[in-house]
Chains A and B, each alone.
Chain A
């Protein structure tokens, strides 16, 4: 990749040291310490650990509800990533047109990035609140069909997908806007002269040139939706109705954090991590050739 390099035997290690120390002490050591528990049944306060070998994994893989939760996870993750990327790419494109008042529009779209997810989560919780919230009230005026996410699984799933995609929207837009600005004006103009306009321009020029940032955002959104959304699920649906929004990370969170089944939860984390790491490596492999850096 890089041809021109410096030569030094110990300097690179020294430069990496601060990061690696933090990573090992605060990530790997605690993670290994917890993941070890996936082979145990553990009493909540840790005074008893009973070795069960692959018992936790066997229990998980034979439980129909775990299979369901894997399916829900993929539906959710795909939904959040697709909606998040398509939506933000669209908005970023709009905010990159040559129109009057652009600085205002950009600021108005970007400032939402500053809002802490816990804060926006609280606001969403309130908006969707079955009896205080504005949304159920508005829906009940528009349609007689009951969009009751307390009892209808697919509505609940849509709801958490929207909430999660919204939470990550600012991040995505910022990166897409940045990506759009790296595309030289001359390339766009040349394409225009060739007769490309609107969607054609986007399909032939913009999108391919955005592939590195799209790839990066795809990864980040996937990681976000697989790992960091338990807070949103907890606030909005608590995994229900039934178990229709119990995605893998939420199940791991509830089993470990609420139900205090540390071993069982650790086993779920192992599966989840393995899954996402495999997905990531595959993406790196697959896209390394396609992405034009």
Chain B
């Protein structure tokens, strides 16, 4: 019995492997590979965009491929690039920007558009978005999902605590007062929390108050080699947070987007998170909520908030005729129609002013006033050397060490000064190592 089974199975295996290696038939259209990291709802919206582009013309077929998380997708692209089978487009998170710029593996977007004769009015792009992905005034990657940090507050909790539900806290003092009232009145357990802690608490707080984050204008003038976050501002901010944590006003909710959840659940009275959360809250919240600009700390100049998210990089080394399709697709993505749709469906920022104007022409912002908060914040801010963005080599690692130290400080293992000094030391090591590769 067993032997018969074995024979049969061996036969199957042989047959199977002979089938395995037969290549699939070549597609009639030129295929454009786009590797991305969007899951769930956003993954479906990516497919919507691609389907629309593919249906709108007959020469190119864009294939959107989910390639895991951002780091996994990037590693896959690196492996593929080394094997010379790289995709045309790869979505890279904002902290990978310097890595991509230095990689020698990319085809700058402005160059691609110039080569393909597609005229794009770069001046029409929102400056905070444009500057983040530009070098020497030229756009290197196509902004795709851009967001910035804003403040969220729970009006239902505010009401229960006897606070004015129409007024978002504007300063750190107001946050303290409101959060304290919400917690001590028993309206909620979480007074204040943060998602993406390094991004909302350190990166955006510094740029919003026009404070330097790293040397070389945050890495825009040249390769940065030193963090600057252990100054008076950073220490003051973390001292405040540590005290709040002890007093039960601030709740640390973990790294990455974990801090979104208490805001979505309606547990947090106040939270700092990405603007992209607006879309989710609009769809799910069973309580009243509102948004406001990032909080201010008295005595520091006005800067601007910076963006996060990801952009699309064109990889070099593919055939010229394929790049024509890539350029057409990027042009399609940048059109006000797609941008307005993308913004309205997902809550991410549109890239262009004309898309914004198109949205203003409708009643979109009247119906969704919280979607306007981000634009209000960006336009009221001042883009300076400290607030045009942050561009660091191996930023992912730098962010990691900042968040580890943040946990040490908030958890009471280190003093704010000590923690920030250690983050600067660790960050400097990472930056110097990256810089030494490209001497």
Contact = CB atoms under 8 A, between A and B. Distances in A.
Given a CB threshold of 8 Å, the question of whether A touches B is answered with yes
Interface of A: 41-48, 50, 129-132, 150-153, 238-243, 254-255, 257-261
A45 B100 CA distance: 9
Interface string B399-411: 0100111011011
Contacts of A45: 78, 81-82, 103-105
B437 A43 contact: yes
A129 B267 CA distance: 14
Interface string B204-222: 0000000000000000000
B252 to A, nearest CB: 6
Interface in B63-111: 71-72, 74-75, 78, 81-82, 99, 102-105
A258 B404 contact: no
Interface of B: 71-72, 74-75, 78, 81-82, 99, 102-105, 252-256, 258, 261-262, 265, 267, 394, 396-397, 400, 403-405, 407-408, 410-411, 413, 430, 433, 436-438
A15 B252 CA distance: 58
B99 A260 contact: yes
Contacts of A240: 254-255, 403-404, 407
A117 B257 CA distance: 23
A281 B124 CA distance: 66
B411 A260 contact: no
Contact of B408 (A48, A131, A150, A242): A242
Given A45-B105, A258-B396, A151 B411 contact: yes
Main SS of the interface on chain A?
loop
Contact of B253 (A44, A46, A150, A259): A150
Given A130-B254, A132-B265, A238-B255, A257 B436 contact: no
B408 A241 contact: yes
A255 B405 CA distance: 17
In the A-B complex, list the 5 residue pairs whose CB atoms are closest, starting with the nearest: A241-B407, A151-B411, A259-B397, A131-B261, A258-B71
B397 A258 contact: yes
Nearest to A253: B71
A48 B413 CA distance: 39
25 contacts: A41-B433, A43-B102, A43-B103, A44-B99, A44-B103, A45-B82, A45-B105, A46-B78, A46-B81, A47-B103, A129-B258, A131-B267, A132-B265, A150-B252, A150-B253, A150-B258, A151-B407, A152-B411, A242-B404, A242-B407, A257-B71, A258-B71, A258-B396, A259-B396, A260-B75
Given A44-B99, A261-B433, A151 B394 contact: no
A44 B78 contact: yes
Contacts of B72: 257
A258 B395 CA distance: 10
A150 B78 contact: no
Nearest to B258: A130
A85 to B, nearest CB: 31
A52 to B, nearest CB: 10
Contacts of B104: 43, 45, 47
Contacts of A48: 437-438
Contact of B262 (A50, A131, A243): A131
A46 B437 CA distance: 11
Contact of B411 (A41, A238, A241): A241
A259 B394 contact: yes
Contacts of A150: 252-254, 258, 407
A47 B105 contact: yes
B181 to A, nearest CB: 22
Given A153-B411, A258-B396, 18 more contacts: A43-B102, A46-B78, A46-B82, A47-B104, A48-B437, A129-B261, A130-B262, A131-B253, A131-B262, A132-B261, A151-B407, A240-B255, A241-B404, A241-B408, A242-B411, A257-B71, A258-B71, A259-B397
B405 A242 contact: yes
Contacts of B404: 239-243
Contacts of A47: 103-105
A134 B75 CA distance: 34
Contact of A254 (B102, B105, B400): B400
A243 B252 CA distance: 16
A269 to B, nearest CB: 15
Nearest to A150: B254
B253 A130 contact: yes
Contacts of A46: 78, 81-82
B406 to A, nearest CB: 9
Of A46, A50, A241, most B-chain CB atoms within 10 Å: A241
Nearest to B407: A241
Contacts of B400: 239, 254, 258-259
B77 to A, nearest CB: 9
A30 to B, nearest CB: 11
A131 B195 CA distance: 13
